Amino acid sequence: MSENLLEMRGICKSFGGVHALDQVNLSIKPGRVMCLCGENGCGKSTLVKIISGVYTKDEGEVIFEGKKIDHITPAEAAQLGVQVIYQDLSIFPNLSVMENLAINSEIAAGRKIVDRKRWEATAKEALSKIGYNIDLNATMGELSIADKQLVAICRALLFNAKLIIMDEPTTALTKREVEALFKTVRQLRDSGIAIMFIGHKTEEVFEIADDVCIMRNGKNVYLGSTSELTRDDFVYYLTGRRLEPDYFVPKNIGKEPVLKVENLTLKNGKCKNVSFDLRKGEILGVTGLLGSGRTELALALFGMEKIASGKIYKDGQEVQINSPVAAQKLRIGYLPEDRNGEGLCLEQPIADNIVLASLKRLSGKFGFITKKAINADAEIWREKFSIKTDDVRKNVSTLSGGNAQKVVLSKWLATDLDVLILNGPTVGVDVGAKQDIHALVHDLANEGLAVIIISDDLPEVVVNCNRVIVMKDGEIVGRMDGEEVQEDSIVKIIS
């Protein structure tokens, strides 16, 4: 029998004449973590759907535990031991932890009568598999993303999982939560379960993966051991280009602050006596751990958190920012960390999303806005930011993460801003698009825009910011300028 749990040979899959997968090979061994990597649109999701029975391959062989499989349904894949934990986690947010853990087992067994003792026993069995403790009566929707992930893993283990596929599980996790997740992944690996970990963050791949499969344009470009791969080569295989850190060098910083904050304290207590200034042409970094107050500071500057005391000055004049409308009138824009939930209307056209904040500018003499005007404006930004789409009337949900982020940027820049606040500007964006967005922000700053980047991604902060403030427990605990901005210096302050 083959030492591989799963082998895929020469897999091909097309949709409407477009090759999503072209002669893809992949193998996974029991008790190993294999990272499946590639930029958005490379074919990762299609490959996973073939493994889990959602799609049927056009060509090639799929061999599981030494047996060739021609056609399989999702239910049959689950019976074989294949479990997929998608980004949405497929949970019932209004049900309890116990109900989420037990309900699939109850349905699979065809039971129609609720026996809460049996449900509780099932839930406890699931949690015991990784030694995880949580209140069984807690509502799933109220849990952190990290706890939801662990519940989803426990649920998968109830079905005698042999292969667990995790779809970008660290996207919304803090560094501490990632460390806890990786501890669980290693525990599962050491018990003999094969793990397919889908991701593209270089440091995480090299920390957790035993093996790596890298895809580009529907094809394998690397398949082998992580130990035989350098970080530089990983990025090259992923993007098809050699990427070097592009540090921001301000060209023309304004003499007077465009934005000044004095002793800002919020009513919710998440920020206390915060003071800083920001000039045109510079990028100010705000960093700190989860709960440090960095996001609340951004929301306050955009009128979404109530201010208890302190002052805000715009162009030397004291201002009151008590709503997003007030912030926009002061030419302040805000790109939220959750671009899909807060920054975009996913099932609306790209063009409509781009002009959303500048409708007044596009309205005619009698207040009417034509589709022609909307499309023409959107085309300007599509070309300026190289947004990859062949039609701005397509829904924004059709775009990759990096291109969707460019749409949010376009939306605000179309309003002629003085200050742009970016909260987690590259969350969920692949490495190539990440560098493209950074270069774009550098250009905007050097054209005179004042930028604030809020991030806990320290390499992102170091590469992009000429000044940094570090927050902890709602207060500023460190300031750095120019060459002082170093990752190890920030770590010493926040740890």
Strands 82-85 and 67-69: unpaired
Domain's final residue, options 239, 269, 300: 239
Domain's final residue, options 185, 209, 239: 239
Determine, yes or no, domain membership for 363: yes
Please tell me whether residues 313 and 231 are part of one structural domain: no
Please tell me whether residues 42 and 151 are part of one structural domain: yes
Please tell me whether residues 213 and 346 are part of one structural domain: no
Please tell me whether residues 182 and 310 are part of one structural domain: no
Largest CA distance in the chain: 76
Please tell me whether residues 194 and 293 are part of one structural domain: no
Determine, yes or no, domain membership for 248: no
Determine, yes or no, domain membership for 247: no
Please tell me whether residues 86 and 188 are part of one structural domain: yes
Instruction: Tell me the residue range of the domain where 213 lies.
Output: 6-239
Determine, yes or no, domain membership for 249: no
Pick the closest to residue 166 from 199, 211, 208 (CA basis): 199
Please tell me whether residues 50 and 166 are part of one structural domain: yes
Determine, yes or no, domain membership for 265: yes
CATH assignment of the domain containing 376: 3.40.50.300
Please tell me whether residues 213 and 271 are part of one structural domain: no
pLDDT of residue 1: 47
**Nearby residues of 488 by Cβ (< 8 Å), 6 or more positions away:** none
Domain's final residue, options 239, 270, 302: 239
Determine, yes or no, domain membership for 252: no
pLDDT tens digit sequence for 13-58 = 998 878 899 999 999 999 999 999 987 778 898 999 999 999 999 9
pLDDT tens digit sequence for 112-134 = 777 788 889 988 988 888 888 88
What's the Cα-to-Cα distance from 67 to each of 35, 62, 118, rounded to whole Å? Answer: 23, 8, 35
Domain count within the chain: 2
Determine, yes or no, domain membership for 245: no
Pick the closest to residue 147 from 120, 121, 124, 174 (CA basis): 174
Please tell me whether residues 209 and 281 are part of one structural domain: no
pLDDT tens digit sequence for 444-464 = 999 999 999 999 888 899 999
pLDDT of residue 397: 86
Determine, yes or no, domain membership for 73: yes
Please tell me whether residues 84 and 224 are part of one structural domain: yes
Question: Is 215 exposed, middle or buried, given 0-12, 13-18 or 19+ CB atoms closer than 10 A?
Answer: buried
Strands 163-167 and 194-198: parallel
pLDDT of residue 182: 92
Please tell me whether residues 351 and 382 are part of one structural domain: yes
Please tell me whether residues 45 and 121 are part of one structural domain: yes
pLDDT of residue 337: 78
**List of the chain residues with pLDDT < 70:** 1-2, 172, 364-366
Instruction: Return contacts of 357-363, CB within 8 angstroms, 24+ apart.
Output: 357/328, 357/333, 357/411, 357/412, 357/414, 357/415, 358/411, 358/414, 358/415, 361/414, 361/415
